Amino acid sequence: MSSSTPISPARKSSRTAAIARNFSRYSGLLYDYFIQYAKVQMGYRGDFIVSLITAFAATIFGLLFVIILFQRAPKLAGWSFEEELFLYGFSLVPYGVFNIVASNLYNFGNDYIIEGKFDRILLRPISSLFQILFETFRLEAVQGIATGIFCMWWASSRLHVAWPLGKIAALFFFEVCASVIYVSVFLMLTCVSFWFEDRVGIHPPVWNVINFGRYPLSIYNGAVQFVLCWIVPFGLASFYPSVRMLGRAVAPEYAPLVPVVAAVFLALSISLWNFGTRYYSSTGS
């Protein structure tokens, strides 16, 4: 029989201290990255304002499509305009978070692999993934988060949805899980660039799938629902949490699986990234 050696209290304390030091270090680096990028943006305020207006206009056009749609059909698969607006607003928040912290992933193949900038990333004694995610921020994407929160507030007030503290905490938790899913999906797509060098990458077609997750899954056939729940789970990330927040009944109820899917996709994406970095070889001259 074999017996495992128990971990001594001193060793546990050492591990805890190391985790605390790493957390403090990376928190400080994140702050420095953000402040530096904000300073650069404020140095070109005109460009930032134009980007903000452009991003806000794109968000408004998307909302106008929903308004026009419900002017022609008062119900969409049994969903009222206010319920659909809540779902739409919910999906805008993780999309905005992704755009703020992970927009670098979209151009990774071109900017870092083909142009050779990834060599510089690997020379630093910091996590390569941390650097790629937080070297740049799209601060103008904050408008998407603000618009999403406003849509959820307006829709829930019209629907007379109560918001006790526990429900607000659940909403925040589901939004975090949805944000993790968005980042993880695009991180896995980004990793393809380690093996297939292409300036555009495979992001664009999946990017368009985001819009499918902003409408009730019941309007799609079974195959599309399966893809939006388990392959590219943008629908799972937004639809089932919205159903729970609105107090609607749906079968099957997949809301409890949202954090599980978020954890699995995050683990898979990080593992694929680590494997890709080991595979990577410099572009050379």
Alpha carbon separation from 56 to 40, 66, 142 (Å, rounded): 21, 16, 9
State the pLDDT at residue 75: 87
State the pLDDT at residue 2: 47
State the pLDDT at residue 5: 57
State the pLDDT at residue 139: 85
Mean pLDDT of the region 257-280: 95
Report the Cα 90 to chain-centroid distance in Å.
12
Mean pLDDT of the region 211-233: 94
Q: pLDDT by residue (tens digit) across 156-203?
A: 999 999 999 999 999 999 999 999 999 999 999 999 988 887 777 788
Over 60: is that where the pLDDT of 128 sits? yes
Q: Which has the closest alpha carbon to 197: 276, 141, 268?
A: 276
Q: Which residue has the tokens 């399966």?
A: 226
Q: pLDDT by residue (tens digit) across 30-53?
A: 888 888 887 777 777 787 788 889
Mean pLDDT of the region 222-243: 95
pTM summary value: 0.89
Q: pLDDT by residue (tens digit) across 51-99?
A: 889 889 989 999 999 999 898 888 888 899 999 999 999 999 999 999 9
Report the Cα 190 to chain-centroid distance in Å.
14
- Distance of alpha carbon 164 from alpha carbon 29, whole angstroms: 36
Kindly write down the DSSP assignment for every residue of 88-114, as one continuous string: HHHHHHHHHHHHHHHGGGGGHIIIIII
Spans of all domains in the chain:
29-279
State the pLDDT at residue 4: 54
- Amino acid type, 136: T
Q: pLDDT by residue (tens digit) across 245-258?
A: 999 988 888 999 99
Burial class (CB in 10 A: 0-12, 13-18, 19+), 20: exposed
State the pLDDT at residue 189: 93
Q: Which residue has the tokens 């080991």?
A: 278
Alpha carbon separation from 127 to 119, 121, 132, 133, 190 (Å, rounded): 13, 9, 9, 10, 16
Q: Is the peptide bond before 9 cis (omega within 30 degrees of 0)?
A: no
Overall size of the chain counted in residues: 285
As separate numbers, helices (DSSP H) first and strands (DSSP E) second, the chain gives 12, 0
Over 80: is that where the pLDDT of 13 sits? no
Alpha carbon separation from 185 to 56, 138, 175, 223, 234 (Å, rounded): 24, 19, 15, 19, 9
- Name the DSSP class of 218: G
- Distance of alpha carbon 271 from alpha carbon 19, whole angstroms: 20
As a whole number, the mean pLDDT across the chain is 88
Q: Alpha helix (H) ranges present in 210-257?
A: 222-226, 234-246
Over 70: is that where the pLDDT of 3 sits? no
Do 270 and 262 form a contact (C-beta atoms < 8 A)?
A: no
- Amino acid type, 175: E
Q: What's the per-residue H, E or C state across 124-171?
A: CCCCHHHHHHHCCCCHHHHHHHHHHHHHHHHHHHHCCCCCCHHHHHHH
- Name the DSSP class of 6: P
Percentage of the chain beyond pLDDT 90 is: 53
Do 202 and 284 form a contact (C-beta atoms < 8 A)?
A: no
